[in-house]
């Protein structure tokens, strides 16, 4: 199994964090995004988090030549990660 590609992981985490910080800054400034814009901004952050996971073992060379298909595939929520669920006590 290939080692984790920390360069890809780091760059995508930074992109996601920057997007979330932008949302937070706008809210604190009293200028929150409208709902549609908020959706796009969150989708952008999620996309980078998903890529950080899905492309974690991809070579930098392959990543730099990312196809549209890979962009869409790597940007999906990871199938192997289950969503947090409550059992309801």
The pLDDT of residue 87 is 66
The pLDDT of residue 30 is 98
Mean pLDDT per 10-residue section of the chain, whose length is 89 residues: 96 98 98 98 97 97 97 92 66
**List of residues 6+ apart from 63 with CB closer than 8 A:** 5, 8, 55
DSSP of the chain: -PPP-HHHHHHHHHHHHHHHHHHHHHHHTT-PPPHHHHHHHHHHHHHHHHHHHHTTTS-HHHHHT--HHHHHHHTSPPTTSPPP-----
CB 9 within 8 A of CB 56: yes
Q: Domain limits at 50? A: 6-74
> Total domain count for the chain?
1
Residue 1 lies in a domain: no
The pLDDT of residue 79 is 82
The pLDDT of residue 83 is 66
Residue 83 lies in a domain: no
Residue 40 lies in a domain: yes
């Amino acid at each position: 199994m290939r080692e984790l590609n920390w360069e890809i992981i780091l760059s995508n985490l930074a992109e996601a964090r920057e997007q979330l910080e932008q949302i937070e800054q706008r809210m604190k400034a009293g200028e929150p995004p409208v709902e549609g814009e908020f959706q796009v901004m969150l989708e952008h952050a999620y996309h980078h988090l998903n890529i950080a996971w899905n492309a974690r073992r991809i070579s930098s060379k392959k990543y730099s030549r990312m196809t549209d298909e890979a962009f869409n595939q790597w940007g999906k929520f990871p199938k192997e990660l289950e969503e947090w669920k409550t059992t309801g006590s």
